[in-house]
Structure formats: structure tokens, C-alpha cells
Amino acid sequence: MADLVNKKCQVCEGGVPPLDKAACEQLLKQVQGWELAPDAKHIHCLFSFKGFYATMSFVNAVAYVVQREGHHPDMSLGYNYCHIKFTTHAIDGLSENDFICAAKVNALL
């Protein structure tokens, strides 16, 4: 499998099944720090920073990366943290796109 960070997200408008839990667990090995939800419908990661400016710099960089991929996460943030959750809403579960974006987010650090 090609390195996830070098892949490009594919348009997903539904009509395909989400990845099963075994496939998700294999892809998860390539995105250090990310966790798989118990129902295997999303992955998430909590990032910590030294302060607000560092957090916001990261959030802006994530926004740039995911906009280029056309695959957007749910995010919550505060003074020194950012929690990111990826899922593919069109299939109510995970696709390779979620793991590609997680890898690209990790590459920002």
C-alpha cells in the first residue's frame, strides 16, 4: 500500500460500503496517535499545544490541508488543544479518505 500521506482523497458521494473494522485497524497502524471509535465509524485524535497561537496555527494548517483534499473533519479546540474527528458522512463510516487526511494532519507536526 502506498504511503497514505502521498495519496489523494477520492470523491465519495455514497453508494459504497464503509471500511470494516479489520480494514480500519490495519490503516490505523499508519496514523500514529489516532484512535478508532468502538463502532468503527470514526477516528479521532487529541493534539496538545503550548498556547493559543500554536493551537490556532495548527488549526489553520489543518484547514488548508483538508480543504485541498476536499474531506473535512469535525474539530473542537481551546486554548491549548485541538480534537479532530474524521468520518465519511456519505457512507456513515470510514473510508480511506479519513486515514489519508489523518496522515496528512500528522505530517504537519
In a domain, 18, yes or no: no
**How much is the mean pLDDT over the chain?**
96
What pLDDT score does 33 carry? 98
What pLDDT score does 1 carry? 40
In a domain, 13, yes or no: no
In a domain, 19, yes or no: no
In a domain, 9, yes or no: no
- How many whole angstroms separate alpha carbon 79 and alpha carbon 68? 26
Domain count, the chain: 1
Statement: residue 2 has pLDDT above 80: no
Predicted model pTM: 0.94
**CATH number for position 67:** 3.30.1360.20
The band of 34, judged by pLDDT with boundaries at 50, 70 and 90, is very high
Mean pLDDT, rounded, for 42-47: 98
In a domain, 56, yes or no: yes
- How many whole angstroms separate alpha carbon 19 and alpha carbon 9? 15
